[in-house]
Structure formats: C-alpha cells, structure tokens
Amino acid sequence: MILRTDTMSEITDRFVIEVGSGTVAHIIDMDATQTETESRFSLGPDVAGKKMCSRGYRDIRFQQVPVSDFMAHHDIDKEGFEGDAPDEICSYCWSNTIKAAGTDQSRADEDVSEKIGTVGYRLRWKQKGRAHDEWYDIVVRPETTLAELDRLVCRFTTLDDFHLRMYSLEDEYLDSSLNVLPDHQYKEAGDRSYTKASDMAVGNVAERARLWEGDRLSLVYDFGTPSRYYCLVKSVYEPDQLDDVLTDNDVITSTETAAIIREKRP
Ligand SMILES: [Zn+2]
C-alpha cells in the first residue's frame, strides 16, 4: 500500500517555475517531453520539460527555479499547487498543474477515507504575516488532545492562560470554529456548546474536517482584534511510523503523545 506522505514534495520536484520575459511566470512539467510537433516548430535548441499552457514561448535563456524558492521569494503563502493562482504565476498553467497533479481528486481516494482518524499528522504552525520567518512542526497522534496540542503551541507563542484561544478548521473561525476552549476557560464559560480541550482529540477533529495533507487548521486569539496562528498539514503518518518520528533524538520538546520536531526561528 502506498502511503501518501510527502506527495507534495514529489509534485514540487516534478514541476518548476520558468521565469521568462512575460509578466507572469509559467510552470514546466519536467517529467514530460515535448511532442514532436512542438519541438519541430520551436526555434533554437530544445528546452527541457513541457510548459503547462500554450501561451507565450520558451527560450533556453529563461530561468527555471524550484517552486518552493519561487513561492518564498515572492512571499506566496502556499505549500504547493492549491487554490487560486498567485498573481505572479500564469493562471492557465496553475489550473492545468492542479489537474495534472491530481491534488483535487486525491481525497476521493477510498484509502484516505479509511485512514482518517487513525493516522498522525505533522502540522507546520506559523503566525499570519510572518510565515516564512518562523515556523514549528508539531507531530500529533490521533489520540493527542487539543489540550496537549495547545500546550505545545503555547511554547513558541506569547499566549498564556489569560488569552482566550479558539481552534478552527479554516481561516474564518466564526464559520468553522471547533468550539473548543482551554480546560480552565471552559470551566469559567459554563457553556455546554463548547468542548473542553482535553476532551477533543486530533482524531475527532480529523474525522470532522477530513483532515489530510495540504489542509489547514487555525488558532484565533485576542478576539477584539483577532490575531491568528495557523498550521498546514505537511505530512500524514501511519500509526507504525509515529513511534519513530516521535522518539527521534532531535525532538525539540514533547508531551505524552505529541512533539515539536523541527523549527525555523528568526
Ligand atoms: Zn502558462
């Protein structure tokens, strides 16, 4: 059985961004070769790979850069080919690449459905507005509670017990709030529509959100002027892989079932 861990890195290895003379950059599929017709009509020496749209032209002098470098350079807050095309990249190439990479339909995969709730995740937490300067990878098991996750998130934030914090499934916490409160705040709130953080496990959240690679969760605090941290699901781990990942010597800090395994600090 093929595990879909690191699918995104395979996809971003396959495609590169070509920066040419136009206002937008195009995407090149390095696994594909040009058809005979295309190379017959192209001028000059052959260029590697195949452009994902039929617009513009190619030139051997155009520079090819890795997708991640291009995204970082332009401060594009995406982990790969997802959602709408950024302004800097040709939208035809973008949507064709999403189709080619099959990222849209990956979720239809029945294997995935069966696994949700039993797998662990590597969640890359960032703060909105400074996503490239600082991030923390937290590995969670399905049984990791949101209380535990919250403890690890608070390690690298300035959040303390006085901050009301709420986790949600997407960007807009009002529409997608998990209605989970830190335990001590749950007691104060006395509102049964909320769940105590220690009563909600990552596996429950995963089942509710059908959480998989590329998805995001967010954490909103300071509700007057909402600020947020958010995370992207970077990898999915089978249960038997989790022990290895979590007991690695390089773990930065851990709780009973979860750990911060990597970080980038300014
Ligand atoms: Zn294009």
Residue 31: predicted pLDDT: 84
User: How far apart are the CA of 45 and the centre of ligand 1, in A?
Assistant: 20
Round to whole Å and give the CA distance between 193 and 94. Answer: 41
How crowded is residue 77: how many other Cβ atoms within 10 Å of its Cβ?
Answer: 15
Final residue of a structural domain among 89, 110, 131: 110
190 Rama sector, left if φ>0, alpha if ψ -120 to 50, beta otherwise: left
Q: What is the pLDDT of residue 1?
A: 29
What would you measure as the largest C-alpha separation in the chain, in angstroms?
73
Any domain includes 130: yes
pLDDT of residue 171: 60
Q: Which residues of the chain are modeled with pLDDT < 50? A: 1-6, 104
Find the 111 Cα to ligand 1 centroid distance in Å: 33
Q: Which residues lie closer than 8 Å to 191 by C-beta, 6 or more apart?
A: none
Q: Phi/psi of residue 126, each to 5°? A: -140, 165
pLDDT at 146: 95
CA distance linking residue 102 with residue 213, whole number of Å? 13
Residue 192: per-residue pLDDT: 83
Q: Has residue 141 been placed in a domain?
A: yes
What type of residue sits at position 193?
S
Q: Is the whole-model pTM more than 0.85? A: no
Between the CA of 17 and the centroid of ligand 1 the distance, in Å, is 10
Is residue 115 in some structural domain?
no
Rounded distance from Cα 31 to ligand 1 centre (Å) = 17
Domain housing 179: 120-264
Same domain, 142 and 210: yes
**Last residue of one domain, picked from the residues 90, 110, 130:** 110
Give the integer Cα–Cα distance in Å for 228 and 209: 19
The alpha carbon of 25 and the centre of ligand 1 are apart by a number of angstroms equal to 7
Dump pLDDT digits (tens) for 94-143: 999 988 877 545 555 667 788 899 999 999 999 887 878 899 999 999 99
As a 3-state breakdown, the chain gives helix, strand, coil percent values, each rounded to 5, of: 30, 25, 45
pLDDT of residue 10: 66
Distance 57 CA to ligand 1 centre (A): 9
- The count of structural domains within the chain is 2
Q: Tell how far the Cα of 252 is from the centroid of ligand 1, in angstroms.
A: 42
Q: What is the DSSP string of 110-160?
A: HHHHHHTTT-EEEEEEEETT-TTT-EEEEEE-TT-BHHHHHHHHHHSSS--
What is the secondary structure of 193-224 as a DSSP string?
TSEEGGG-BHHHHHHHHT--TT-EEEEEE-TT
Query: What is the separation of C-alpha 25 from the centre of its chain, rounded to a whole number of angstroms?
Result: 22
